[in-house]
Amino acid sequence: MPSEATVETIDVPSRPTAMLAGKAKWDDGFAAIKDSLAKIEAVLDKAGLKPAGSPFTVFTETDDSGFSYEAMVPLAAKPAAAFSGDVQLASSPSGKAIKFQHRGPYDDIDSTYDLITAYLDEKDLEARDFFIEEYLSELTSAEDPNLAVDIYVFLK
């Protein structure tokens, strides 16, 4: 069970973002997300824009074989012109969420999600049909023991 120190309820504001949608199999998920964020950052660099915060992924649909997602990089303000290619201007989700912390290899993140499910069940809380992983450290490898990820579970 996550300790109370690693669980926080917050109001998450919507922010302008650069977004790239994708799908991945579970085994390829880390690489797909890392690749999508790199593509977004290349588009921002070409446009002369700097990220305004940590990158994150909105998981929009999951099943036994894989997931659909929207990789996002926050921007200070919505740019005047749209991007070319697959990267789009978007707004991040907003609302009341519970923030959980995952520290350690991405390969071990399933155990954090198991704890989140147990926490929600224990507190009788109902989650909306998406969640966010915010990457506070660079995504180097799925085995990186120093990875820091905050997971946001939005409540109904």
pLDDT tens digits for 57-82?
A: 999 999 999 999 999 999 999 888 88
Give the integer Cα–Cα distance in Å for 111 and 2: 11
What are 5-61's pLDDT values in tens digits? 478 899 999 999 999 999 999 999 999 999 999 999 999 999 999 999 999 999 999
Element (H, E) at 97: strand 95-103
Length of the chain measured in residues: 156
Across the chain, which distance is largest between two alpha carbons, in Å?
Answer: 47
Domains and CATH numbers, the chain: 4-155 (3.20.80.10)
Q: Which residue has the higher pLDDT, 46 or 1?
A: 46
pLDDT of residue 7: 84
pLDDT score at 2: 47
pLDDT tens profile 105-137? 999 999 999 999 999 999 999 999 999 999 999
**What is residue 137's three-state secondary structure?**
coil
